Structure 1
Amino acid sequence: MRIGLNSAAIGLAALLTAGGAEARDVAAFWRSTLARLAAEPLDAVGKELRESLPNKTYSVEYRSLGGVRVRARLALPIQGGQPDHLLPAIVTAPGYGSAQQGIMLAECQRGYAIPQVSPRSQGPSAELWKIDSGEKLTWNLSKPEGAYYQLAYADVIRGVDYLAARAGIDPNRIGIAGTSKGGGIALAMASLAPLSLAPSLRAPALVSSGGRDTICPAATIRAVFDRFPSTKPLLHEPDLPHTTPALFYCLSWRWLDQYLRP
């Protein structure tokens, strides 16, 4: 995953830099947010899509923070006979400026459930709720309550809730991956889901950066990377712009298999 402080990781940066009373305020804010999210009924609905694919694909819609409904796509591999184990899952979220996801649905053929979550005001979810002005990055940023990334993080966490409640999914083997803003969301989920907060983030994290990336500069990625103490390789390629190299793609699947396979 790739992260950048000029996108989703701006919320994560607040967790990383907080100390003392400020850290307690940040923790209290997210505890309150997560408690309100948990109080919302999931109210999930799903519909299998009839597509000529070697896997099952579903459109999913569920309720998130503030009663806003969010859309996702879910892909499941075809399993012959009676499955002998629950499926691990990889949640993914899109980059900042598009609906493009970091993990393609077809990757479910590797033996994973793949839900592509579109946070509110992005992708298919934008048909249900959109910010009223400006950019997602700075929308309501002056007041944490109601800021866009408070809401977007909640939307993706709710996607994890949906997976954990779904039959056939192993709730103990759920990972998250993404590129660009989606990578920032991935790290935020790893810190917020158990409310460990980023400096105490224990989930293994694989990160990449590019020396010619002007959208998510390598220095911003390194600043976040250095702050959490989990197992955390960083692949840096000096000549790489804002994209995912083939080497990192291959390494990421080895990494996911290592930690999520039964």
Structure 2
Amino acid sequence: MIMARDPESATVEVDLPADFDEFWAETLRLTDEVPPDPELVSVPRMSTPAVDVFELRYTSYDQMRIAAWLTMPAGHPPGTAFPAVLHVPGYISEPSVLKSWSERGYVTVGLAPRGKLRSNGRFNPGYPGLLTHNMVDRFTYGYRGFYADVVRAVDVLATLPGVDPDRVGIWGSSQGGGLGIVAAALRPEVVRCVAAGAPYLCGIMASPGWTHSYPYEEINEYLRVHPEHERLLTETASYFDGLNFAPKVRAPIFVYLGMEDDVCPPETGFAVYRLLESEKELHTYPRCGHDSGLRWVIPLVEKFVDSHLHPEGVGA
């Protein structure tokens, strides 16, 4: 008999390493030692009369040069400071050019962390490949630099001309949802709100037991070849699991889940939501998969972000 799943009540446990905070403080210290050297290059062919588009590049952990798309409202008076939103793409997705958000009064960054196109000159594990890249060692695990790239993007965005550093938020789904939680936990003094859909990288080692979809199937495949490494993978994953970052989030957060998600099991979404201690709201969508109710939820995401960042002319 096949037992019905009960995602809301499922138990997802992740050990919290004793040196979790020290590991991430050292990672950020090493990142902070690297001058970011941000560079903005105008891209007229992608711009419109209402929105200016730029290619943004900055230097991150281990001297990696990272690319992103930046959009901002066109024709603004000198000294204007806009709210800003960082968008982190999904696992296999490339960064978005969020012109529609700039039309509503935001500066946006669509990020390409290491391994993504334009940021893969020195690091390119492939997709699949990133999730288990050097996963036997937390110090060289591929996601260590990837996480640092997102945190540095928050720092760079908050200091760019035209950005109000007191109005910075994060929005993303899947990998973007998980990394939004991570960045909000590591930069609580900067991030003012987070919208996280179908958060990936939460319950990392539990998820392969609920799904055989990628990316988590990478772990199943790796352990079929290297079963002796399960302890090492579990130990490394505990330093990167969103469940261990969630209690450190201080910003208001909007979480949305698809109840039939076969990529990021909803069990893990409920688990991370329970651990969030900041102001929070949860939206669930029956009969929706990894899209997490995208058709219905985007207006709610925009309303949530607007309510906290107050773009000019939108619910000020």
* TM-score higher than 0.5: yes
- Match of residue 64 from structure 2: 68
| Alignment partners' CA distance in 1, 2:136 and 2:65 | 25
Tell me what 2:201 maps to. Answer: none
Query: For the structure 1 residues 200 and 132, does the alpha-carbon distance in structure 2 shift closer, same or farther, using more than 3 Å as the test?
Result: closer
Cα deviation for residue 133 of structure 1 reads 9.7
Tell me if 1:168 matches 2:216: no
Give the structure 2 partner of residue 250 of structure 1: 299
- Contact preservation (8 Å) 2:86, 2:154: yes
TM-score (norm 2): 0.71
- Equivalent position of 2:40 in the other structure: 46
Q: Give the superposition deviation at 1:134.
A: 6.4
Report the equivalent of 2:91: 96
| 1:149 Cα offset (Å) | 1.7
- Amino acid paired to 2:308: Y
Kindly name which structure, 1 or 2, has the bigger radius of gyration based on alpha carbons.
2
Say if 1:217 and 1:42 are closer, same or farther in 2 by CA, change over 3 A.
same
Distance in 2, matches of 1:18 and 1:109, equals: 44
Deviation at 1:199, TM superposition (A): 1.3
CA deviation string 1:31-82 (max 9, x = no partner): 0001111110111222001125121010111110000111011000124445
Structure 2 unmatched ranges of 5 or more: 1-11, 190-243, 312-316
Q: Deviations over 1:114-144 (max 9, x none)?
A: 0011010013212453138961111111211
Structure-1-length-normalised TM-score: 0.85
Q: C-alpha offsets along residues 74-118 of structure 1, whole Å, 9 cap, x if unaligned?
A: 0001244455x41110001110012154x7333211101000110
RMSD: 2.3
Q: CA deviation at 1:158?
A: 1.3
Work out whether residues 184 and 251 of structure 2, in 8 Å CA contact, stay in contact via their aligned partners in 1: yes
Cα gap change, 1:57/1:213 in structure 2, threshold over 3 Å: closer, same or farther?
Answer: same
Match of 2:19, SS state, is: helix
Q: Match of 1:28?
A: 22
Q: Distance in 2 between matches of 1:132 and 1:179?
A: 20
Q: Spell out structure 1 runs of 4+ moving beyond 4 A.
A: none
* 2:118 pairs with one of 120, 124, 127: 124
**1:106: which partner in 2?**
100
Aligned length: 243
Are the aligned partners of 2:71 and 2:98 in contact in 1 as well (CA < 8 Å)? no
Q: What residue identity is the alignment partner of 1:251? A: L
The 1:136–1:224 alpha-carbon spacing in structure 2 relative to 1, beyond 3 Å, is same
Alignment of 1:7-18 (within 5 A): 17-18=14-15
Q: Which has the higher contact order (CA 8 A, sep 6+)?
A: 1
**Out of 234, 250, 253, which is 1:205 matched to?**
253
**Maintained 8 Å contact 2:72/2:108:** yes
Write the distance in 2 (CA, Å) between the matches of 1:221 and 1:79: 41
Alignment partners' CA distance in 2, 1:138 and 1:148: 8
Instruction: Choose which of 66, 74, 90 in structure 2 pairs with 1:78.
Output: 74
Q: What residue number does 1:6 align with?
A: none
**Kept after mapping to 2: 8 A contact 1:209/1:217:** no
CA contact (8 A) 1:98 1:123 kept: no
Query: Among residues 46, 50, 55, which one is paired with 2:51 in the alignment?
Result: 55
**Contact 1:210–1:239 (CA under 8 A) maintained in structure 2:** yes
The CA deviation string for residues 143-199 of structure 1, in whole angstroms up to 9 with x for no partner, is 111212211111111111211221221111111111111111111111112499421
What secondary structure is seen at the aligned counterpart in 1 of 2:275?
coil
